[in-house]
Structure 1
Amino acid sequence: MHGSFSHTADPRTSVVAIGGGHGLARTLEALVELGLHPDAVVTVADDGGSSGKLRSDHKIMALGDMRMALETLARTGPLATVFGHRFSAGQLEGHAVGNLILLALLEQGGGDVGTAVATAGRMLGCAGRVHPCTTSEVTLCARIDGTTVRGQVAIATTVGTIEEVWSDPGDVPAFRGARGAIEAAELILLGPGSLYTSVIPNLLVPEIAVAVEASTAPLVYVGNLTSQPGETAGMDLQAHVEALLRYLPGRRPVTVLAHDGPPAEGSGASLAPVVDHPRVRVVTGDLASRRPDGTVVAAHDSQRLANQLSQILTAARPSTA
């Protein structure tokens, strides 16, 4: 812990966090620290691990990123404690309990993903809501050094420069809850997380990108601390932002929240907090987590991130007193 916040946010503030995986979880942790009940809009394109096995066996969208978001928003309790447990042997090896619960709720509810996730949220007492970006089964595709690569895991592990990503099929509808949350948002957050396989896949759902562009709420991209070996190797923060903006082709401004502190240990290169773009404003702060010995690691610290987001929220909603 790093001391108390300068203030907490108004719990009625409507904040949407868009992404997937551990990066989205850190943002949700930070928002919950501020007393908010955020809406999470989550990618469903993962095809690895437990999610990949369930996709293959049951012909459904990926459940793992939604499970992780639910875990993060869950209040302390017996179910929250077991929700993220992974089996280590036998036929269930690698599967997370939460993924299996979501699958059971899907089957009991006749395949209604929105109902299944909402029911899980109530069971966990979540401080916020989780929405898939789409309820359609999609495959993430990329052009890497001129070659088409299909599947999130293959894209993340193929050596080369990612030139473009798209979804197959590409004209899937947005989940109504995700679209509605974005339309009602007072602040929209993208990232942090894997740029091409966690953040951008949400924007490949046309109605999600349109809703983000049409919103008058401030849009904040939480930049990664380091580049990601393989996926964003050799890319600086400027390149991350330019890639993101290609999937938000409108003219709305974007605030980039960038780490400006001791370089983080990790296999990727640290990203200097420098972006020169007419649509971009950069806000900096020390966002990195520390080990007990003080070593800086390549992961966002939820409380440091919360402190920065609280300042952004204050600027977005100035006091009328």
Structure 2
Amino acid sequence: MSRFGDPTRPAVVALGGGHGLSASLSALRLMTDRITAVVTVADDGGSSGRLRDEMGVLPPGDLRMALSALCDDSEWGRTWRDLLQHRFATAGPLDQHSVGNLLIVALWELLGDTVEGLDLVGRLLGARGRVLPMASVPLRIEADVRTADGQRQVVRGQTQVAVTEHRIEQLRIHPVDPPACAEAVAAVREADWVVLGPGSWYSSVLPHLLVPQLRAALLETTARIVVVLNLSPDDETAGMRTVDHLAVLRAHAPRLPVHAVVADPLTLDDVGELSELCAAMGSRLLVRQVRRGDQSAVHDPLRLAAALRDVVEDYLGDVGTRAGRATGSGDTQE
């Protein structure tokens, strides 16, 4: 028996935000129903930013998207998902507010408990898993950037970091020591696997490593950590190669144990360097086509699920081989 208990239902924690996290959740739900999404809470734009500023709540948008990605695949679940994602288009104050954002914030007001409110929306959707914020308070992202003429500048706010044209050198959050969501920390510590990425690297993925309690859980968990790399650069990573994404992750969390890295072959302009860095980190590089068949820069849930399943099965196979060798009953051929 592996350390996972039932290998067909691993407990998986997915970290991220926005469309990237939705992509990983859409794949993971094909593998297991023991899913916890831990979502960034730094959004300061759009409907989420308006509700955050007006009501002092966590920005609900990325949490809503994660819940929608985990909805039950039935008429009931899909209908409530579509309702949550529906945006008003008016000339008044409701313009571009999503129904789901308003529903989530209303439940937070009614129940007085962020996690309980999210769990209730999950029950409404028949969600295949749980959605939690990474911190209990809204966060602000701040980045040191280097301009083309070599000048250093500071960019503040997730929306500004996400669209910066300058090379990001360092990332910070405010407050610097926010209270982590206790349930999220517990989920990471108890997980079998943790999936980091894909998504906006600086504004959605890396912030999880900057919340001290969550970072400690990631460094101390016995879970195996998998990094899923993006299919294409976005504004905040323009000019970065595939290997640079992994190098930045290592620079912000040098002791983070990464078991495997999943990359699509069409993104690999530096496969040699990426392989060397993975080896230096003690990680396996798994190159698989995980984008849609039309070659667009969108993850295909079935293909990504197959790649992640390969990662899990490879590891379980290694564990079984080592166990067999230890008892003298396994294959001893290298």
The residue identity in structure 2 corresponding to 1:282 is: L
2:34 is equivalent to residue 37 of structure 1: yes
* Cross-structure match for 1:300: 299
For residues 16-95 of structure 1, the aligned pairs below 5 Å read: 16-75=13-72, 76=74, 77=76, 78-89=79-90, 90-95=92-97
CA–CA separation in structure 2 for the residues paired with 1:153 and 1:180: 29
Match of 1:222 in 2: 228
1:246 lines up with 2:251 in the alignment: yes
Q: Which residue of 2 aligns with 1:266?
A: none
C-alpha displacement at 1:303, in angstroms? 0.8
Once residues 259 and 144 of structure 2 are traced to their aligned partners in structure 1, the CA distance between those partners, rounded to angstroms, is 26
1:211 is aligned to: 217
**What SS is found at the alignment partner of 2:88?**
coil
Deviation at residue 253 of structure 1 after TM alignment: 3.6
**Residues 11 and 32, structure 2, Cα contact 8 Å, conserved in 1:** no
Q: Is the 8 A contact 2:38 2:184 kept in 1?
A: yes
8 Å Cα contact 2:9/2:32 also seen in 1? no
Q: Is the 8 A contact 1:258 1:273 kept in 2?
A: no
Mapped to 2, the partners of 1:140 and 1:310 lie a distance apart of 33
Deviation at 1:249? 2.4
Task: Report the CA distance between 1:212 and its aligned residue.
Answer: 0.8
Find the structure with the greater CA-based Rg: 2
Q: Does 1:121 align with 2:87?
A: no
Give the structure-1-normalised TM-score: 0.89
Matched residue of 1:257: which SS?
Answer: strand
From 98, 102, 105, the counterpart of 2:104 = 102
- Cα deviation, residue 251, structure 1: 5.7
2:320 is the counterpart of 1:314? no
Gap runs ≥5 in structure 1 = 1-8, 264-269
Shift of 1:289: 1.3
Alpha-carbon shift at residue 272 of structure 1 (Å): 4.8
Q: Measure, in 1, the Cα distance between the counterparts of 2:34 and 2:223.
A: 17
CA 1:317 to 1:153, structure 2 compared with 1: closer, same or farther past 3 Å? same
What's the offset of the Cα at 1:273?
4.3
**Aligned pair partner of 1:288 in 279, 288, 291:** 291
Identity of aligned residues (%): 37
Q: Which residue does 1:196 correspond to in 2?
A: 202
TM norm structure 2 = 0.85
Alpha-carbon offset, residue 254 of structure 1: 3.8
Distance 2:314 2:214 in 1: 25
Q: Which residue of 1 aligns with 2:329?
A: none
Label 1:273 to 1:58 Cα distance change in 2 as closer, same or farther (>3 A): farther
Superposed, which structure 2 residues align to 1:116-155 within 5 Å?
A: 116-145=117-146, 146-155=152-161
In structure 1, C-alpha distance between the alignment counterparts of 2:141 and 2:120, rounded to whole Å: 27
2:170 aligned with 1:171: no
- Aligned-residue Cα RMSD (Å) equals 1.8
> Could you tell me how far 1:247 is from its partner in structure 2?
2.4
Contact 2:226–2:258 (CA under 8 A) maintained in structure 1: no
The answer (yes or no) to whether the contact 1:135–1:175 under 8 Å persists in 2 is yes
Residue of structure 1 equivalent to 2:3: none
Q: Secondary structure at the match of 1:283?
A: strand
Report the residue type matching 2:108 in the other structure.
L
Could you tell me which amino acid in structure 1 is paired with residue 13 of structure 2? V
* Cα distance in 2, alignment partners of residues 74 and 83 from structure 1: 11
Query: 1:219 and 1:252 mapped to 2: Cα distance?
Result: 7
Aligned pair count?
A: 300
CA distance in 1, matches of 2:104, 2:200: 24
Residues 16-60 of structure 1 deviation map (CA, whole Å, 9 limit, x = unaligned): 110011111111111112243311010000111111111111111
Contact residue 14 and residue 196 of structure 2 kept, 8 A: yes
Gaps of 5+ in 2: 1-5, 147-151, 325-334
Question: Any conservation in 1 of the 2:10–2:32 contact (CA below 8 Å)?
Answer: no
Distance 1:46 1:271, change over 3 A: farther
Stretch of structure 1 that moved more, 210-219 or 10-19: 10-19
Shift of 1:222: 0.1
Tell me the distance in 2 between the aligned counterparts of 1:20 and 1:257.
18
- Match of 1:104, SS state, is helix
Code of the residue aligned with 2:114 in structure 1: it is V
The answer for the alignment partner of 1:231 in structure 2 is 236
Tell me if the contact between 1:11 and 1:37 (Cα under 8 Å) persists in the aligned partners: no
| Cα distance change on mapping 1:154 and 1:180 into 2, 3 Å | same
